[in-house]
Amino acid sequence: MPNNNLPKTRYEIADKPKLRPYGSKVDIILGGNNQFGFDGESCLILGNDLIVRLIPRQNKKLEFQKFTAYLEGFATASEAEEAGLKFAMSVLWAAVSLRCPLRLEYHTPLPCVVYDRTPHEGTVMSSHLTFSSTSGASLVVEILEQTFTSNVLINNKQLLVSMELFAAARLEATERARFVGLISALEPLAEQKKFEYPDLKKIVKETLNKVQDSLDLPDDIKRSLEGSIRNLTRESVSHAIKRLIITHLTEDKMALEILEEAYTIRSKILHEGAFYPDLGDKSYKIEDVIRRLYSAIVGYELRSPAVTYTNND
C-alpha cells in the first residue's frame, strides 16, 4: 500500500520508480576517525525532496571508511547527473569545512554515476523506508543541506578538482606526499592571465623567429623552446595563485608568505628529495590558508575554524 504520509515527490520516488527512473551514486572514502558521524546505513533528506541513502561498503583497510551515496529518483538522466555533481561538491565542502580527510572514489570522467533504478524496483526504495540519520551526523547534514540547495558551487569544475585534491591529501601515507598534495590543490584555481604588452609580444615573436630559423638546433629542441617562449606571454601558475590569494584574503598579511615558503619547500621536495622534520606543522599552516581561501570563494564559514597566522607563529 502506498504511504500517503510521504510528501508527493517522495511518494513518487518510493512507490512509482518508473516516474522517476534515474538515480546517481557517489562513492566516498573517509578517514577512520568517523568525523562525519554516520554509523551504519543512513538515509538523508536534502532540500524538500532529495533522498540520499548512505550505504557502508566492505573495506579490508580498517583505517578507512567507505560509503556509497545513492541519490534517488529523477525524471531524466541529466537531472540525476547534475544532482550527483552537486552532492559531490557538497561532500567535498563538508570535508574542507570540518577538516576531514576524504576521497571521492571513481574511475569515470565525473565523480558520480547515473543508473537506472527500475531493474531493481522493489528493492532500491520502499514506501515504508524510515528517513533518518544518526545524531552525530547532524552537523554534516546541515552543511550538505546548505551547499546542495544553493547555486554557489554549480559548474565550477576547477573548484571541484581543487577541493578533491585538498580533501584527499590527508589520506596520503607520508607527510611529504600530503604536503605536495595540499600545494597541488591550489593549481586548478590558478587562472593564468595573458600579458597584453606590445613590447613583450614583439620580443616573443622575434625570439621565436630566431629559434625557428636556427640551423644548429635539433627539431625536438626547437619545439620545446617554442612552447616555453610562447608561455612568456602569460603569467606563471605561482603568480596566478598569488593574485588569487591577494584577491580573496586581502586582510591576511601572512598568507602570501606562507604560500611562498610552501612552494619553495615543494620544489625542494620534488627536485632534491629534501626532508623537513617540521613538515607536519608547515602542512597545517598552508592547509589553513587554503581552507580560508575556499571559504572566501564559496561564501560559507568554516565549521572547524582555521587559524590566521602572524609573524610570531
pLDDT digits 0-9 by tens, 224-251? 999 899 888 888 888 899 999 999 998 8
Lowest mean pLDDT among 50-54, 168-172, 211-215: 50-54
Q: Is residue 15 pLDDT above 70, yes or no?
A: no
Q: Is residue 132 pLDDT above 70, yes or no?
A: no
Q: Which helix (H) or strand (E) holds 66?
A: strand 64-74
* Cell, residue 8: 508527493
CA-CA distance, 55 to 44, in Å (whole number)?
11
274-296 burial code (b ≥16 CB/10 A, e <16): eeeeebeebbebbbbbbbbbbbb
- The rounded percent of the chain whose pLDDT value lies above 90 is 48
CA-CA distance, 93 to 39, in Å (whole number)?
21
CA-CA distance, 276 to 256, in Å (whole number)?
20
